[in-house]
Structure 1
Amino acid sequence: MANSEIFTQIAMSLEGTRSAPHFDRTAFKVKRTYATLAADGLSANIKFTPEEQELKCMVAPEIFEAIDNGWGRQGWTTMRLGPADARDIEAALAMAHVHAVAK
């Protein structure tokens, strides 16, 4: 079972990542924001490509869910931290981080 502390530690370990306030959330960014952590620490939103989002949601629907709006159609995906483990978080953040570095 993962939590917001594990999520933050993993995100901040990725090269060039910095955190900043983002409305009521904490954003993790390099050149662009690639993840945000909810204020309650129970979930995070992660930016995948639409294809990555589809795969994550299909393989682990108890963890990942596409955001149901225009942001979701761009690949933004909610990750529930409770059913996730550190490996799930590390894989998801690494996938999103690559795109944020490339921008």
Structure 2
Amino acid sequence: MSKARFRKTALALPGAIEGAHHGHADFRVGKRVFATLGYPDHEWGMVKLTPDQQTLLVDAEPEMFRPVPGAWGKSGSTNVRLAKIDPETLRSALEMAWRNVAPKSLLASLDTR
């Protein structure tokens, strides 16, 4: 998975925009970050999940996902290994992260696609 494909998939979600967060590209809906690129380095992305969602993905696909080290990881922030993830799994993880922070007014727009 390339960074360009990650970016394109994130920006395809309703209301998603690209910004910057701690020196890394981030993806937001409203003012809330749901994903980043380049953390901890260029081989990784991050999706903002719930702890339960994180456990599900890490247990199912440990080569693709790992908790972010430290407190952020304990709250659900999950690294995505770009070299291992396939487009369908990435889209699913990004949609989960997007849903976790999207305004209620936008949630229905993803369901009508």
- TM category (shorter chain) comes to over 0.9
Displacement after TM superposition at 1:21 (Å): 1.4
Which string of whole-angstrom CA distances, capped at 9 and with x for unpartnered residues, describes residues 5-55 of structure 1?
Answer: 110000000000011111221010013101000075421011000000000
Which string of whole-angstrom CA distances, capped at 9 and with x for unpartnered residues, describes residues 65-103 of structure 1?
Answer: 001211011100100010111111101000100011047
Q: Distance in 2 between matches of 1:25 and 1:17?
A: 16
Q: Distance in 2 between matches of 1:41 and 1:5?
A: 12
Identity, in percent, stands at 31
Runs of 4+ in 1 over 6 A off after TM superposition: none
TM-score using structure 2 length: 0.85
Please identify, of 52-61 and 31-40, the stretch whose mean Cα deviation from structure 2 is larger: 31-40
Structure with larger Rg: 2
CA contact (8 A) 1:25 1:37 kept: yes
- Counterpart residue type for residue 14 of structure 2: E
Q: Aligned pair count?
A: 102
Larger RCO: 1 or 2 (CA < 8 Å, sep 6+): 1
Query: What do you get for the CA RMSD once the two structures are aligned?
Result: 1.4
